[in-house]
Amino acid sequence: MKRISFFAAALTGLLLATTVPARALTAGSGKAEVYTVTEHIRFNEGTLPLKHGGILLSNFGTETFDPLNKEGKGYIVLLDKETKVLFPATGALNAPKGMAVKDDCLFVADVGCVVVYNMKQPEQRPVKIAFPEGELFVNDIVALGDFLLVSVTNTGHLYSIDVKDCGTIWSTQRPKPKKVADIPGANGLAEHEGTLYVASYDPNENPGEQNVIYAVDMTVPGSKPLNLIGSRYGQYDGVAVSPDGSKLYFSNWKNAEGKAEVGYIDLTPDKKNAVTVLDVGVELQGPADICISDGYLFIPDLPANKLYIMAL
């Protein structure tokens, strides 16, 4: 089993303090090791690995599950050697989802906007980048150099935001989102070596043939989205690329049997996008914005108020 470097020597203490095994790992069983985190978790939707260690978790903080709530109870947790609330609920966040970091700025997708925090000065008041009217289900963010790419699930629009000088957002006019593409149900985003991966989720919870996982070659102007998963449509939420680019992990709220699942698409040429479903060892309710860090897959089970950490 690979080690998770940011836990370092405190890994054992963290797991004992904040998690319980979802499945015991028995010698020779071939089963993956899975842990469950519940501390400070309240409708955790987004996960984001930080370059210098730790995983950020976005939480709604509400009493009931509502991805478009306007209650202002959202907050951000840092999972490191211990779990702690990094940005507490102050009314700035409602239903925070996907996140991205550029320089010292943390960008958080929220209802109808992107909220920006100062990572170096967490006490500084966050600011909001508003989206056009009707663009409510702002869902995920990926940082591409000096730009952010942001998905809006209810309209299927992708927007770019210029964040070249993100530190000036607090003192100058806010950058304006610019619509750049349309992909039905655009939800989770991931990028690897010039390819953008997009998970499609039907906001009306009635998935059809357009709700698949797409790849877009961003190195070729005008490239059209390529369906990676054929007729295997579903309610795809999160996507994450393995460090070597050979696998695209995904989360799915509803497969053909109506069950939630987590798995991966084999991106190597000889496998022709073969799909493998992972045995997490628990019945998932709604796996959301997954991420990979140091040999582990982080799976927020949004309605269940649990975060699963699975060894790969």
Cα–Cα dist 65/74, whole Å: 12
pLDDT at 307 over 90: yes
pLDDT tens column, 45-80:
999 999 989 999 999 999 999 999 999 999 999 999
Query: What's the mean per-residue pLDDT of the chain?
Result: 90
HSE-CB of 282 using CA atoms within 13 angstroms: 22
Q: Length of the chain, please?
A: 312
- The predicted-structure confidence for 174-185, as pLDDT tens digits, reads as follows 899 999 999 999
The contacts of residue 198 (CB under 8 Å, 6+ apart) are 151, 158, 183, 186, 187, 188, 189, 213, 214, 215, 216, 225, 239
Residue 188 and residue 33: Cα distance in Å, rounded?
A: 25
* pLDDT of res. 31: 61
pLDDT at 22: 56
Average of per-residue pLDDT across 123-129? 94
Q: Count Cα neighbours of 227 within 13 Å in the Cβ-side half-sphere.
A: 11
| Banded pLDDT at 272 (limits 50, 70, 90) | confident
Q: What is residue 32's predicted lDDT score, i.e. its pLDDT?
A: 72
**pLDDT of 8 higher than 70:** no
Per-residue pLDDT tens over the stretch 133-150: 999 999 999 999 999 999
Q: Tell me what pLDDT residue 215 has.
A: 97
Angstrom distances, CA of residue 180 to CA of 147, 152, 272: 12, 12, 29
Q: Which helix H or strand E contains 13, and what residues bound it?
A: helix 11-18
DSSP 279: -
Q: What is the pTM of this model?
A: 0.91
The CA distances from residue 175 to 112, 122, 152, 218, 273, in Å, are 15, 21, 17, 22, 38
Q: Which of 230, 249, 251, 246 is nearest to 187 (CA)?
A: 251
Region 268-285: mean pLDDT is 93
How high is the pLDDT of residue 68?
A: 96
Which tokens go with 61? 């903080």
Higher pLDDT, 116 or 167: 116
Q: What confidence tens digit (pLDDT) does each residue in 236-259 have?
A: 999 999 999 999 999 999 999 999
